Chain A
Amino acid sequence: MIDVEPLIISGLDRLVPLPSGERANWQEVLASAGVASRPRFARKRLVVAAACLAAVSAIVVATPVRAALGHGFETFSTWLTGSPGKPSSPSVQRAFDRATRSWAGFPEGTKLRRLVQTRTGGMTFTLYGFRAAGSLCLRLVVTGSVSARTFVCPPLSALRGSNQPGLVVAANEAVGITRQSASGPFSFVEPKFVVTFGVVADGVQRIELGGSDGTSTTALLNGDTFLAIGKGSSRVTRAWAIAGNRRVALPLIAGSSPSGLPQVTGPQFSVKGPATVQRTVHGGAIRWLARREPRGAAVPGSVHHIVGVLPDVIFHREITPDPSAPERMVVSVRPVGAAYSGAHLRNKLQVCAEVVGGRFAGGGGCWPAGRLFSTAPFSLGLLNQPGGQTVTIAGLASDDVAKLTLYLGTARVVEVPLHDNGYITSAAKADYPVRLVAYDSAGRVIGIQTLQESSHTNQAFPQPVANAQWHSLLRTSAGEVFRARSTVGGTCYAIRVGVVTSGPTCESPPAANELQLGVGWSKQGAEVTGRVGSAVSRVLIHLSDGKTQTISPIRGYILAALPPSAATGNHNPVRSITAVAANGRTIKQPGSNLSGGSGPITRLSPTAIAIGSNSATHICRVTPESPSLRGYTVGTHVQYLCQNRALSLIGRSTPRRSANWASRTIWAKGPITALTPTTISLRNTNAPAGTSAATITCALKEDSPKTTNFHRAERIQVFCSRGRLTAINREVP
Chain B
Amino acid sequence: MRKRDLIAELELLYRGRYRQFVRVATAIVGEDRAHDVVQEAFARAIRSLDSYRGEGTVEAWLWQVLINAARAVRQSLVATSLLNERTEGWTTENGHTDDGVRAWVVSLPERQRLAVFLRYYADLDYRSIGEVLGVEVGTVSATLSAAHTSLRRSLKEVSRD
A186 touching B95 by the CB < 8 A rule? no
Contact residue among A7, A371, A451, A523 (Cβ-Cβ distance under 8 Å from B101): A7
For the complex, is A687 an interface residue (Cβ under 8 Å from B)?
Answer: yes
For the complex, is A556 an interface residue (Cβ under 8 Å from B)?
Answer: no
- Which residues of chain A (158-177) have a CB below 8 Å from chain B? 174
Most buried by B among A261, A339, A453, A688: A688
For the complex, is A548 an interface residue (Cβ under 8 Å from B)?
Answer: no
B74 touching A461 by the CB < 8 A rule? no
B89 touching A380 by the CB < 8 A rule? yes
User: Given A384-B31, A460-B161, A520-B109, are A15 and B47 also a contact pair (CB < 8 Å)?
Assistant: no
B152 touching A9 by the CB < 8 A rule? no
A7 touching B77 by the CB < 8 A rule? no
For the complex, is B58 an interface residue (Cβ under 8 Å from A)?
Answer: no
CA gap between A543 and B23 in the complex, in Å: 38
Contact with B along A444-466 (1 / 0, CB 8 A): 00000111111001101101000
User: Given A15-B98, A26-B11, are A461 and B153 also a contact pair (CB < 8 Å)?
Assistant: no
User: Given A189-B73, A663-B93, A666-B95, are A18 and B43 also a contact pair (CB < 8 Å)?
Assistant: no
For the complex, is A30 an interface residue (Cβ under 8 Å from B)?
Answer: yes
Contact residue among B15, B32, B120 (Cβ-Cβ distance under 8 Å from A9): B120
A2 touching B155 by the CB < 8 A rule? yes
For the complex, is A228 an interface residue (Cβ under 8 Å from B)?
Answer: no
Least Cβ–Cβ distance between B52 and chain A, in angstroms = 14
CB neighbours (8 Å) of A186 from chain B are 75-77
B93 touching A664 by the CB < 8 A rule? yes
Least Cβ–Cβ distance between B137 and chain A, in angstroms = 10
Most buried by B among A189, A572, A691: A189
For the complex, is B94 an interface residue (Cβ under 8 Å from A)?
Answer: yes
Contact residue among B19, B44, B99, B155 (Cβ-Cβ distance under 8 Å from A19): B19
Contact with A along B58-88 (1 / 0, CB 8 A): 0000000000000011111101101111111
CB neighbours (8 Å) of B123 from chain A are 337-339
CA gap between A313 and B121 in the complex, in Å: 19
B interface residues, tally (CB under 8 Å) = 79
CB neighbours (8 Å) of A595 from chain B are 152
For the complex, is A636 an interface residue (Cβ under 8 Å from B)?
Answer: no
Contact with B along A1-39 (1 / 0, CB 8 A): 110110111111011111111011110111011110000
CB neighbours (8 Å) of B86 from chain A are 17, 381-384, 391
Least Cβ–Cβ distance between B114 and chain A, in angstroms = 11
A19 touching B22 by the CB < 8 A rule? yes
CA gap between A516 and B90 in the complex, in Å: 29
For the complex, is A185 an interface residue (Cβ under 8 Å from B)?
Answer: yes
Contact residue among A338, A457, A502 (Cβ-Cβ distance under 8 Å from B110): A502
Which segment, of A195-203, A206-214, A252-260, A704-712, faces chain B? A252-260
Minimum CB distance partner of A364 in chain B: B19
A452 touching B88 by the CB < 8 A rule? yes
For the complex, is A686 an interface residue (Cβ under 8 Å from B)?
Answer: yes
For the complex, is A632 an interface residue (Cβ under 8 Å from B)?
Answer: no
Least Cβ–Cβ distance between A334 and chain B, in angstroms = 13
Least Cβ–Cβ distance between B106 and chain A, in angstroms = 8
For the complex, is A308 an interface residue (Cβ under 8 Å from B)?
Answer: yes
For the complex, is A292 an interface residue (Cβ under 8 Å from B)?
Answer: no
B91 touching A29 by the CB < 8 A rule? no
For the complex, is A386 an interface residue (Cβ under 8 Å from B)?
Answer: yes
Contact residue among A10, A451, A666 (Cβ-Cβ distance under 8 Å from B89): A451
B88 touching A453 by the CB < 8 A rule? yes
For the complex, is A501 an interface residue (Cβ under 8 Å from B)?
Answer: yes
CA gap between A180 and B96 in the complex, in Å: 39
CB neighbours (8 Å) of B107 from chain A are 505
A11 touching B101 by the CB < 8 A rule? yes
CA gap between A4 and B144 in the complex, in Å: 11
Contact with A along B115-152 (1 / 0, CB 8 A): 01001110100000000000110110010001010011
For the complex, is A215 an interface residue (Cβ under 8 Å from B)?
Answer: no
A592 touching B152 by the CB < 8 A rule? yes
A687 touching B91 by the CB < 8 A rule? yes
Minimum CB distance partner of A380 in chain B: B89
CB neighbours (8 Å) of B43 from chain A are 29-30, 32-33
CA gap between A337 and B123 in the complex, in Å: 8
- Which residues of chain A (254-301) have a CB below 8 Å from chain B? 256, 258-262
Minimum CB distance partner of A371 in chain B: B93
B136 touching A570 by the CB < 8 A rule? yes
A2 touching B46 by the CB < 8 A rule? no
- Which residues of chain A (52-97) have a CB below 8 Å from chain B? none
CA gap between A503 and B77 in the complex, in Å: 9
Least Cβ–Cβ distance between A632 and chain B, in angstroms = 23
CA gap between A228 and B129 in the complex, in Å: 44
Least Cβ–Cβ distance between B62 and chain A, in angstroms = 12
Minimum CB distance partner of B78 in chain A: A259
B76 touching A503 by the CB < 8 A rule? yes
CB neighbours (8 Å) of A457 from chain B are 88, 99
Least Cβ–Cβ distance between B158 and chain A, in angstroms = 8
For the complex, is A668 an interface residue (Cβ under 8 Å from B)?
Answer: yes
Q: List 9 A-B contacts (CB under 8 A).
A: A14-B101, A16-B82, A16-B85, A16-B121, A19-B22, A20-B19, A29-B42, A382-B85, A684-B95
Please provide the 6 A-B residue pairs with the shortest distance between their CB atoms, ordered closest to farther.
A11-B101, A33-B46, A382-B86, A32-B43, A570-B139, A33-B43
